[in-house]
Amino acid sequence: MAKEKKLVEEITSMDTDFAQWYTDIVLKAELVDYTSVKGCLVIRPAGYAIWENMKNEIDRRFKETGIENCYLPMFIPESLLQKEADHVEGFAPEVAWVTYGGMEKLDERLCVRPTSETLFCDYYSRVVKSYRDLPQLLNQWCSVVRWEKTTRPFLRSREFLWQEGHTVHATAKEAHDRTVQMLEVYADFFEKDLAIPVIRGIKTDKEKFAGAEATYTIEALMHDGKALQSGTSHYFGDGFAKAFNVTFTDKDNQIKPVFETSFGMTTRIIGAVIMVHGDNSGLKLPPHIAPVQVNIIPVAAHKEGVLDAANALYDRLKSAGIRVKLDDSEKSPGFKFAESEMRGIPLRIEIGPKDIENNQCVFVRRDTGEKSFVSLDNVESDAKECLENIQTNMYETALAHRDAHTYEARTMEEFKDIADNKPGFIKAMWCGDRACEDKIKEVAGATSRCMPEAQEQISDVCVCCGKKAKKMVYWGKAY
């Protein structure tokens, strides 16, 4: 019991210090480890297994829409990066440069990929010739480097994993439709697999991606009331195409520029899962993406028949397609229970001598802590049903939390009071003026998160200047 207690005591309470709680979780659950380069992390097997499951679910959805995977180089010549002025200006502060190859100084600096719009445009300029070559629907899974000053595991690091999709189309409508479609893919993944409700919307010009005509986003609310931009889909119009001469001969025999999109989601979504669902005992992983969905723990394992029964249960659940683990280590049952909770395993199954006598086992849910006795006769179907119930309950719990921490403000005084004292989303009207957006950040420390498609008329005037309002905006303090 002392070891079990120590395991949990090593986690700072989220109510005491949320940032330290988060760091304790990612380290104690063995998701990451630090390296000798600041901001660059080892993603340990437990963390990478979560990413693999996420990646599989996203990739499956991509392929259903016609996306194909490819891979482009990590190095970008400086001259190529500078072809699109807004784009390079937006990324310049975060770019890492290679200036030497071996012992020789390079004739031209090479940028270490912060994103790959320029590389994809260069590629498309060579392979797209005719309308018959369109659309091109490509994605790559890779790492990127952005030289962040302030870093935090998963949420902001100097090198991180992601996917970046880049598509080109014959018409603006096709490109815009693809932009919205990919945002819906992200939202579906978040809500159905990560059990995280999201706000869909479009970014203001201030917050949109460098070089984009429009940036669409899904925004999630963390347990501490801060927002997290969780996935973005960008409509580029024909700006990149003109800069990189990506043209095609259309059916009318006219040469025209293509219309382009880009969309990306990163390993920061692991951080989202931690901060939306976790508690003071550790992770809470949604069953759909949990590397281990069920952890079997034998009780009084030294007694005759217990390990045999646990192994038989393991074989049955594995054959049923459940990701299952049998913890037959020499640790005490109490320590195993605490460790299972720490790692966020959705369902723990306990089985001991009395359970075997009664043809039963004990289900313990990670989301609620609820215990129940379950017959061994139909344990496979009962486990699957329990996992789906956990998935649904985690989403509903997160949705209730978000709704309870979403507020409305009609005046600047009200806005600032909410921002200072009630962490969460703030819905408020905006005139569309950049000066008001900047003023809100200066006064209340909140940034615009998105302008949702489903607009609400909270009032007729801008919360900041009092002039006629144009849009209802979700605002918040953010990671």
Condensed to tens digits (0 to 9), the pLDDT of residues 6-58 reads 455 679 999 999 999 999 999 999 999 999 999 999 999 999 999 999 999 99
| Predicted confidence band of residue 82 (pLDDT cuts 50, 70, 90) | confident
Residue 288 has pLDDT above 80, yes or no: yes
pLDDT at residue 84 above 90?
Answer: no
Instruction: Identify the pLDDT of residue 337.
Output: 96
Residue 3 confidence (pLDDT)? 46
Residue 149's Cβ-side half-sphere holds a number of Cα atoms within 13 Å equal to 1
Q: How confident is the model at residue 317 (pLDDT cuts 50, 70, 90)?
A: very high
Q: Please write the tens of the pLDDT for every residue from 197-241.
A: 999 999 999 999 988 999 999 999 999 999 999 999 999 999 999
Q: Does 2 have pLDDT greater than 50?
A: no
DSSP readout, 254-275? -EEE-EEEEEEEETHHHHHHHH
CA angle (344, 345, 351) in 5-degree steps: 135
The percent of residues above 90 in pLDDT, for the chain, comes to 93
CA torsion, points 270, 275, 281, 282, in degrees to nearest 10? 10
For residues 356 and 400, what is the distance between their CA atoms, to the nearest angstrom?
39
Q: How many of the other CB atoms lie within 10 Å of CB of 221?
A: 31
- Residues 84 and 109: their CA atoms lie apart, in Å, by 17
Share of the chain above pLDDT 70, in %: 97
Q: Scanning the structure block, which residue is given the tokens 């280590």? A: 329
Confidence at residue 7, expressed as pLDDT on a 0 to 100 scale: 52
- Give which of 381, 299, 304, 300 is closest to 337, Cα–Cα: 299
Number of neighbours of residue 66 by Cβ within 10 angstroms? 10
- Tell me how far apart the alpha carbons of residues 446 and 430 are, in angstroms, rounded to a whole number: 13
Are the C-beta atoms of 247 and 255 separated by less than 8 Å?
A: yes
Phi-psi label, residue 225: left if phi above 0, alpha if psi -120 to 50, beta otherwise = left
Residue (of 288, 406, 274) closest to 342 by Cα position: 274
Q: What number of other Cβ atoms are within 10 A of residue 413's Cβ?
A: 11
DSSP string computed for 446-467: -EEEEEESS---S-SB-TTT-S
Please tell me the predicted confidence (pLDDT) of residue 398. Answer: 98
> Alpha-carbon distance 420 to 58, whole Å?
37
Q: Residue 83: which pLDDT band, with cuts at 50, 70 and 90? A: confident
Tally of CB atoms within 10 A around 216: 28
Alpha-helical runs (H) found in 412-453: 412-421, 434-444
